[in-house]
Structure 1
Amino acid sequence: MNKKFLYISIAGIVGLLAGYLIFGKPVDESTASKDVSEVSNTHDHSGETANQMWTCSMHPQIMQPEPGDCPICGMELIPAESGADGLSANEIKMTKNAMALANIQTNVVGNAVGENGNVTSLSGKIVENEEASAVQASYFDGRIERLNVNYEGQEVRKGQLLATIYSPNLVAAQQELITTASLKESQPALYKSVRNKLKLWKLSESQINSIEESGEVRENFPIYATVSGTVSEKMAEEGDYVKQGQPILKLNNLNTVWAEFDAYENQISQFEKGQEIKMTTNAYPNKEFDAKISFIDPVLNTQTRIVTVRATIQNKNNLLKPGMFVTGKFEGIEPSGEEQLLVPASAVMWTGERSLVYVKTDPDEPIFEMREVTIGNRNGETYSITSGLEDGDVIVTNGTFTVDAAAQLSGKKSMMNQEGGKTMTGHEGHTGMQQANTEATGNSIDHTKMNERIDVPAKFQKQVEQVFDGYIDLKNALVNDNAKNAQQAAERVEKSLSKVDMKLLEDEKAHKHWMAIQKELKSSTDAISLSSDIKKQRDHFKHLSAHMISSVQLFGVNQKAYSQFCPMANSNKGAYWLSLEKEIQNPYYGQAMLTCGEVRDTFE
């Protein structure tokens, strides 16, 4: 027991000695404080936390300085990837995830010979050749006892009986003729005067001689066609009392027709009289019609900024009907033969003042820079670039708006923010998403401050409302899977657009906004009215809706409207539309998926 106690005592003493050697040494407080401070400075992570941004895995354009939920889909935000160090003020770096989700595509800019890119396509419509029109009028007062033409479109031949008219004045004139016929030897001047009066009323020599020889007055007198043609308008009915010179029928000879095209201001120099055109129409998709320009309107339409270019066509077998939509391909009158830079129209964002593209500045990384360019003519789906790009530059050709939205949300220079320096979050991020969704349009307008209404005259707003009403009719036609009604509604939108008077806008910003919006609305409605394929109509409807939403946001309508969104439309990229009802009725899928979608915004 004594030995065991001795061993325990020795072990205890050794433990106390070891503890003193390790922990018992005095420490200088200043030295310790200095060491801790150095360690803390060496491993300071505060900068990482302060600069950390949070994004959404499904909507990478959302950037917020703190964690939370995505304002678009409600998913929990995740830390955004860092690595934007070294970028210039104009550059934006996209993540690979964002590139894939937005289907961002790039192409190398290359030179093309002007002759190969010098064909311009314009949309137009077949109209009657007014030079071949004729009006059949009544040459004397009277009541139409019988009208032999029953409907518009009826064929009429020269000399055909058109109508029978009872005319008291003509009855009296016939009686004068019979009376003066017996005095023609003694009073030849009087006799000749009465005959001439009847001739002025378009009675033929044989008719006058017949009255004179029979000595009988005809109460009902026939009117014969003086030309051949197709009845384009009935201007009177049986039983109507017509005055001398009043039109009864309008006839048109459809052996030749006109095709009228709308050319924008910057395209005027490409056309001249006598220039040949190749035309196609949906009615005969495999047939081309040859025509020549016969007239270029000398006056520019100040409301639409377009000029009418007219071509005359020989209409063999009456294949072309007035009202048909046609597409004309014009070959430039002066091919430069010089190389020029051609880029897809989808690559260019046009604000009314500036034309912008996004250039890929790093061959190995998805880094892009906004660049202002000067555009030349638009030939079909391409623009010629006169300055701002060089041969070999890589530009964004699909997803341009998504890149621009990401730049805007990151506080970089963008189409909507020339100076940069502001990061958008929350509701602004939602608005940025809406603008990114207009990627589907392939064109651009300046969506600056879309949540701010512009004050415009009540008369102008009323005219824009007519456009909006036609849009709602078009939306309803697509909801009901009715392609024909969609075409007709698109035509009504076109007519309403042509009646909007931009001269009512004194505010320069409002004027420029409407010019850009109107151009895109017209382009979309033209395409819808030209197609009877409802899938193509719906494809163009998303373009139309993006710009119609912009119009409502900027100028307003005097009724409550809902901005609605379908995530499955546009190849699962999503697309918006406007509705007067809160209940979802999807125009992109119609009866197949009528209730697919949600309300995203309300315009009071």
Structure 2
Amino acid sequence: MKKIGIYIGVLIAGLLLGWLLFGRSASNTSEEIHDHNAETEQTQMWTCSMHPQIMQPEPGNCPICGMELIPADSKGSGIGPNSFELSANAMALADIQTTVVGNGMLAENQIKLSGKIVENEEANTVQASYFSGRLDKLYVNYKGESVRSGQLLAILYSPQLYAAQQELLTAERLKASQPELYHAVRNKLKLWKLTDAQINAIEKTGEIKENLPVYATVSGTVTEKLVSEGDYIKEGQPLLKIANLNSVWANFDVYENQIGLFDEGQSVTITTAAYPGKSFKGKVDFISPVLDAQTRTVTLRVVLNNSENRFKPGMFVTATVNDVSVKGQTALTIPSSAVLWTGERSVVYVKTDPNEPVFEMREIELGNRIGETYEVLNGLNAGEHIVTQGAFTVDAAAQLQGKKSMMNQESENSKEMDSTSNMKGKRIAVSMDFKNQLESVFEAYIRLKDAMVAGDALKVNNRSKDVLNALNKVDMKLLKKPEAHEVWMPLKKTMTATSERLTKSSDIESQRSYFKRLSNDLLQAVESFGVNEKVYNIFCPMADNNHGAYWLSKEAAIRNPYFGKAMLTCGEVKQIIQ
């Protein structure tokens, strides 16, 4: 009995010790699991795989498409209300690249201008006939031929000159009694550009010549032949245009917002494709005081020495200007590829955390364009990271998540976007002619979209050619405002390149990828300038391997060009552009 009592005591002591060691820890663990589950229940949100902007605190069905909601990823919590996050996979697939904004000196930036070689108008002359008659022989046969002063150019038969020679012979016989008459007749012949030697020969031989030579009064290159043999010409009528090409002009177009960067006397480096690896020095000789109202440019002129005959009129050249007139002023500059345009607004996407893929849209104020960069007057600070490649993809992600973007100036967290409104930014006013031409591009795009819906690759090729033709017919001279030029020129360039690729692609999946790019560019053009009808901007979040894609339509009915019959009605109207 004594041993049994000992065993029972040891057992009770063991149970007590086990409870003290493990019971309380298990209780604490149970409480922690309960608290964690409660916290998860409080923070877990539910979303729709097709409409990620839908966020609800409990499971259910999507109010838009009716699909069952799935748990939302709460990883992005803690970022700002206008910030949004992209996955590393999305960053890699979209090839999104960022650049650190830094202070630069304008003097360190090169401004490149495109221009053309023209004749030096100060050295141009016209070889004219100084008496009327018939052109019996012309010794200059082609444009570009070189002539020298005193060279025989033509032989003329002139009844007027024939009579003047008779007067000379008569006056020469009356020279002693009427010297004034003699000198008057000689002077008349000199005014017709006969030399003293020619006049003396007529007096000496006493023969009247029916045909008289015409000699060049200047040296140079024939740039235009204005007559042919057998023509009857009048006194003072031009025979040839002759240019002295020992010096030429290089004329460059400077946009209105760049005029202040140039001064007469600036050094310029000229290059041309005709002489790879060679450069030529010149100075700004003249800046036109008159602005071309059509192109919104002024002409900048550089005089070039052409004694070696390297430059030919009509040749394209490029000027690089280093010492711009605002040299020494500190400027914040960013690559032009970082800037997105919405009407009069200029926006960029800032990577708010250098170590995380978190982005935010920022409206900025731009100054002069210098080469491939822009001055930033307001909105950015040195050291910030901005998106310089893939900005449109980042903007699409912002719109998808209901954040501040090009089409939505205010965050969804602060104000719900009105899907039936025009874009919030100011639209650029353009002429009705330009708007009609842009509408022709839009109509061709709609026919292309219908071919995409049908999944007909050959038809897509043909409709892409229609878009390309419509783009080529858009007259940039119809744009009067410089900001309109700044918006339209890069858009037309990228839309043209994309349309050309569409005409050559035979694979419908590749065509859909190009169609997405074309849609993004055309959307910006329609938003900026408007067309003469209502345009629906529609989004499918499952297109492009779940990256999402937009397209434009003339109707609200969903006919998906990215899936065709497979998912014809996938998508929703995101915006109506009035």
TM-score (norm 1): 0.61
1:254 equivalent in structure 2: 245
> CA deviation digits over 1:30-67, x for unaligned, max 9?
xxxxxxxxxxx99999x955x424279xxxxxxx9867
Aligned-partner Cα distance in 1 for 2:268–2:146: 30
* Residues 1:361 and 2:352 are matched in the alignment: yes
2:50 equivalent in structure 1: 54
Aligned-partner Cα distance in 2 for 1:409–1:263: 40
Are the aligned partners of 1:517 and 1:547 in contact in 2 as well (CA < 8 Å)?
Answer: no
Q: Which amino acid aligns with 2:485?
A: M
* Residues 1:103 and 2:95 are matched in the alignment: yes
| Offset at residue 297 of structure 1 (A) | 0.7
| Offset at residue 294 of structure 1 (A) | 0.8
> CA deviation digits over 1:208-237, x for unaligned, max 9?
222222222222222111111111111222
Q: Give the alignment of 1:462-541 within 5 angstroms.
A: 500-502=477-479, 514-517=484-487, 519-520=489-490
Relative to structure 1, is the Cα distance of residues 383 and 68 closer, same or farther in structure 2, using a 3 angstrom cutoff? farther
Q: Give the alignment of 1:145-184 within 5 angstroms.
A: 145-184=136-175
* Residues 1:318 and 2:309 are matched in the alignment: yes
Q: Which amino acid aligns with 1:227?
A: V
1:388 equivalent in structure 2: 379
1:94 equivalent in structure 2: 86
1:274 equivalent in structure 2: 265
Q: Which amino acid aligns with 2:50?
A: W
2:468 equivalent in structure 1: none
Aligned-partner Cα distance in 2 for 1:240–1:319: 35
Aligned-partner Cα distance in 2 for 1:447–1:205: 82
Relative to structure 1, is the Cα distance of residues 320 and 383 closer, same or farther in structure 2, using a 3 angstrom cutoff? same
Aligned-partner Cα distance in 2 for 1:237–1:254: 24
Aligned-partner Cα distance in 1 for 2:352–2:361: 10
Aligned-partner Cα distance in 2 for 1:48–1:137: 90
Are the aligned partners of 2:45 and 2:71 in contact in 1 as well (CA < 8 Å)?
Answer: no
Aligned-partner Cα distance in 2 for 1:522–1:172: 67
| Offset at residue 384 of structure 1 (A) | 2.7
1:486 equivalent in structure 2: none
Are the aligned partners of 1:126 and 1:258 in contact in 2 as well (CA < 8 Å)?
Answer: yes
| Offset at residue 413 of structure 1 (A) | 3.1
**1:316 counterpart SS class:** coil
Aligned-partner Cα distance in 2 for 1:378–1:189: 71
| Offset at residue 338 of structure 1 (A) | 5.1
Q: Which amino acid aligns with 2:187?
A: N
Relative to structure 1, is the Cα distance of residues 378 and 260 closer, same or farther in structure 2, using a 3 angstrom cutoff? same
* Residues 1:144 and 2:135 are matched in the alignment: yes
1:284 equivalent in structure 2: 275
| Offset at residue 391 of structure 1 (A) | 1.8
Aligned-partner Cα distance in 2 for 1:188–1:463: 79
**2:204 counterpart SS class:** helix
Relative to structure 1, is the Cα distance of residues 388 and 458 closer, same or farther in structure 2, using a 3 angstrom cutoff? closer
> CA deviation digits over 1:229-257, x for unaligned, max 9?
11111122222222222211111111111
Count of aligned positions: 433
Q: Give the alignment of 1:11-410 within 5 angstroms.
A: 51-54=47-50, 83=75, 85-115=77-107, 117-334=108-325, 336-337=327-328, 339-351=330-342, 353-410=344-401
Relative to structure 1, is the Cα distance of residues 313 and 463 closer, same or farther in structure 2, using a 3 angstrom cutoff? farther
Q: Which amino acid aligns with 1:379?
A: I
> CA deviation digits over 1:255-314, x for unaligned, max 9?
111111111222222221221111111111211101111111111222222111111111
Aligned-partner Cα distance in 2 for 1:168–1:342: 73
| Offset at residue 321 of structure 1 (A) | 1.4
Relative to structure 1, is the Cα distance of residues 257 and 392 closer, same or farther in structure 2, using a 3 angstrom cutoff? same
> CA deviation digits over 1:526-557, x for unaligned, max 9?
x9xxxxxxxxxxxxxxx999979977996889
Relative to structure 1, is the Cα distance of residues 547 and 144 closer, same or farther in structure 2, using a 3 angstrom cutoff? farther
Aligned-partner Cα distance in 1 for 2:235–2:518: 50
> CA deviation digits over 1:395-420, x for unaligned, max 9?
11111122223323444333344346
Relative to structure 1, is the Cα distance of residues 550 and 241 closer, same or farther in structure 2, using a 3 angstrom cutoff? farther
> CA deviation digits over 1:82-105, x for unaligned, max 9?
655555453333233332222110
**1:389 counterpart SS class:** coil
Aligned-partner Cα distance in 1 for 2:278–2:417: 54
Are the aligned partners of 2:340 and 2:346 in contact in 1 as well (CA < 8 Å)?
Answer: yes
Which blocks of at least 5 consecutive residues in structure 2 are unaligned? 1-37, 53-61, 441-471, 498-516, 533-548, 552-578
CA RMSD, Structure 1 to Structure 2 (Å): 4.5
Q: Which amino acid aligns with 2:275?
A: Y
| Offset at residue 184 of structure 1 (A) | 2.5
Aligned-partner Cα distance in 2 for 1:455–1:386: 26
Aligned-partner Cα distance in 1 for 2:253–2:364: 26
Relative to structure 1, is the Cα distance of residues 162 and 206 closer, same or farther in structure 2, using a 3 angstrom cutoff? same
Aligned-partner Cα distance in 1 for 2:520–2:332: 29
**1:158 counterpart SS class:** coil
**Aligned-residue identity in percent:** 52
Are the aligned partners of 1:410 and 1:424 in contact in 2 as well (CA < 8 Å)?
Answer: no
**2:279 counterpart SS class:** strand
Are the aligned partners of 1:408 and 1:424 in contact in 2 as well (CA < 8 Å)?
Answer: no
Are the aligned partners of 1:53 and 1:80 in contact in 2 as well (CA < 8 Å)?
Answer: no
> CA deviation digits over 1:367-395, x for unaligned, max 9?
21111222233332222323211121111
Are the aligned partners of 2:260 and 2:325 in contact in 1 as well (CA < 8 Å)?
Answer: no
**1:136 counterpart SS class:** strand
Relative to structure 1, is the Cα distance of residues 546 and 43 closer, same or farther in structure 2, using a 3 angstrom cutoff? closer
Relative to structure 1, is the Cα distance of residues 107 and 118 closer, same or farther in structure 2, using a 3 angstrom cutoff? closer
**2:308 counterpart SS class:** helix
**1:363 counterpart SS class:** coil
Relative to structure 1, is the Cα distance of residues 461 and 238 closer, same or farther in structure 2, using a 3 angstrom cutoff? farther
> CA deviation digits over 1:473-512, x for unaligned, max 9?
xxxxxxxxxxxxxxxxxxxx89x967x3546xxxxxxx57
Aligned-partner Cα distance in 2 for 1:202–1:212: 17
Q: Which amino acid aligns with 2:486?
A: A
Aligned-partner Cα distance in 1 for 2:270–2:436: 37
TM-score (norm 2): 0.64
Aligned-partner Cα distance in 2 for 1:548–1:207: 74
Relative to structure 1, is the Cα distance of residues 360 and 255 closer, same or farther in structure 2, using a 3 angstrom cutoff? same
| Offset at residue 423 of structure 1 (A) | 7.4
Are the aligned partners of 1:55 and 1:79 in contact in 2 as well (CA < 8 Å)?
Answer: no
Q: Which amino acid aligns with 2:332?
A: L
Q: Which amino acid aligns with 1:233?
A: E
